[in-house]
Structure 1
């Protein structure tokens, strides 16, 4: 199956600040192979390695999307919230960009029940049924619906566990990563210089604090998913 070049450009990554790591004192020694230098007390990520791992992640996502696999993008840190929602909508993926609720994946039966309740409440609200209830009961259900929307809005149509999970900030969303590891769900994770590169199946060394860096990495992954989905549709 033919692949498109993902156009991973080192200069583009430099402009987005993908190469900036954390201060030296905050590093994880396991990140040593991915660091090229330190500048004014800040570790500099080797973008040649980043490009190689990002390309590998794109290849994996293309292949998975081309056979109809489903993806979940997770990024709850403030800098990632908007980019995660944009990427998921663009690539037609599920996403979580607010608080990760413990057991979202490992206690899937409970999550599935909550999602059914969420969809039912949305239907009742859109049809006007909630408005016809007593005010107190309607207000209580609308508050419940708002909570569902905040925490489960990005996965409201997820009917089963995802095939691959993309994690934008490994430390911030460590619970999500641990659940994936427990269930054996393949993961792709951005890793800054304070992260453990051995936890995710594919770790992409990159600045996970800067909006521009996050957006650039997600853009490449989205392109791969969209290309794969197009291939899947053509082959049907």
Structure 2
């Protein structure tokens, strides 16, 4: 497990330096320690606490297999973010936020697919059949797409969360994420509004050292989540492999049972006919005793399902549903969309716009283990949420 960042390290990196007092946002008051020489000083103890909270959430999101999109277009942050995030294989935007990146994701995916089609043209020789002018135009288009969208070429679905450096500069990304109810993690300076962010990390978002230390700690947490996911997959595969030989042995064993029954048959003929009905009563009693056990097993299976794998359900929506007893795919499949809507609206006004109409249908596919069918539905019908 990676070591947690300490207050002394944050202090040395200048994370505590805020903006001028005349530029402050009053909503940042709980995170401000004092004022010195006309500049606000951030409370680093609260920064450490909020950073740990954000890291836990990011770790769980990455462990569930969902992508986290990093956004940092300011000059002093773009190179640091690109370097750190590339190490954990997450998508990032460091050039310019393309309008509609999230709200019009289907169109953005078409632009990404255009890059892939150009690459195929170059491989199969079609590119060489074009005129010199056309080849030049295609190369320019490919370079432009690579610059703006190259880092998200593997992001086939909407991200599970956004991590933003400087919410004032990336206000369009914040608005799009809020509209789709995607959790927002952000480095928030004293001039920004923390109410727009789900997981606030109060810190200096202008100094390169400050950005570097926060990004290092965040990406380490994501890497831990990915490692956990990998180990779980390996253990599942090993369990399946060990279960197969046992199943084969069990299938082969019953073939010898009829011989024993044939040898015991003459001894049983001596017994009276009347007691022959007693085993039936025992069988019925055994069936009654096993019924509650089977019900307990089905109840156990319905527990601890990851509802965020359903398209449209974010971590906060999943938490609200779980608190109200809808904590498994089976229970969600039986729920009425109107009741789900009431639960979400009571939990938070920001989730009132969500449309849960398709959630029971998706949950039914998940409960039956039809993951390929669910993924195909998400990609073709809605664009999907990872």
Aligned to 2:373: none
What residue number does 1:95 align with?
A: 92
Question: What is the aligned partner in structure 1 of residue 21 from structure 2?
Answer: 24
Aligned mate of 2:7, from 7, 10, 27 = 10
Retained in 2: the 8 A contact 1:6–1:224?
A: no
How much has 1:195 moved relative to structure 2? 0.3
The answer (yes or no) to whether the contact 1:74–1:167 under 8 Å persists in 2 is yes
Answering whether residue 108 of structure 2 is matched by residue 77 of structure 1, we say no
Distance 1:65 1:144 in 2: 33
Residue matched to 1:143: 140
Match of 1:227 in 2: 224
Q: Aligned partners of 2:155, 2:26: CA distance in 1, in Å?
A: 37
Alignment deviations for residues 158-181 of structure 1 (CA, whole Å, 9 cap, x no partner): 100000111111111111111000
Matched residue count:
233
Contact (CA 8 Å) 2:122, 2:128: kept in 1 or not? yes
Aligned mate of 2:202, from 195, 199, 205: 205
Structure 2 Cα separation of the partners of residues 223 and 123 of structure 1 = 36
Does the CA-based 8 Å contact 1:6-1:55 persist in structure 2? Answer: no
Pairing 1:35–2:32 present: yes
Whole-Å separation in 1 of the counterparts to 2:76 and 2:119:
29
Cα distance, 1:131 vs structure 2: 4.3
Spell out the pairing of 1:109-188 with structure 2 (5 A cutoff).
Answer: 109-125=106-122, 129-188=126-185
For the aligned residue pairs, the C-alpha RMSD in angstroms reads 1.3
Q: Could you tell me how far 1:104 is from its partner in structure 2?
A: 0.6
Q: Which has the higher helix share?
A: 2
Identify the match of residue 49 of structure 1 among 26, 40, 46: 46
Q: Quick check: 1:107 aligned with 2:104?
A: yes
CA distances 1:123-156 after superposition (whole Å, capped 9, x unpaired): 3346664344211001111111111011101101
**SS of residue matched to 1:140:** helix
Q: Does the Cα contact within 8 Å between 1:72 and 1:94 map onto a contact in 2?
A: yes
CA deviation vs aligned residue, 1:27-81 (integer Å, no higher than 9, x gap)? 1011111100111111100000000110001101111112212111110011111
Q: Which protein has the bigger strand share?
A: 1
State which drifts further: 28-37 or 131-140.
131-140
1:74-122 CA distance string (max 9 Å, x none): 1001111101111221111000001101101100111111111122223
Measured in 1, the distance between the counterparts of 2:119 and 2:74 equals: 27
> 2: CA distance between counterparts of 1:192 and 1:25?
13
Q: Which runs of 5+ in 2 are unaligned?
A: 234-386
Cα distance 1:129–1:40, how it changes in 2: closer, same or farther (>3 A)? farther
Separation of aligned partners in 2, 1:210 and 1:129: 48
Decide which structure has the larger Cα Rg and report it. 2
Q: Which has the higher contact order (CA 8 A, sep 6+)?
A: 1
Distance 1:46 1:228 in 2: 28
Q: Within the alignment, does 1:196 sit opposite 2:193 as a pair?
A: yes
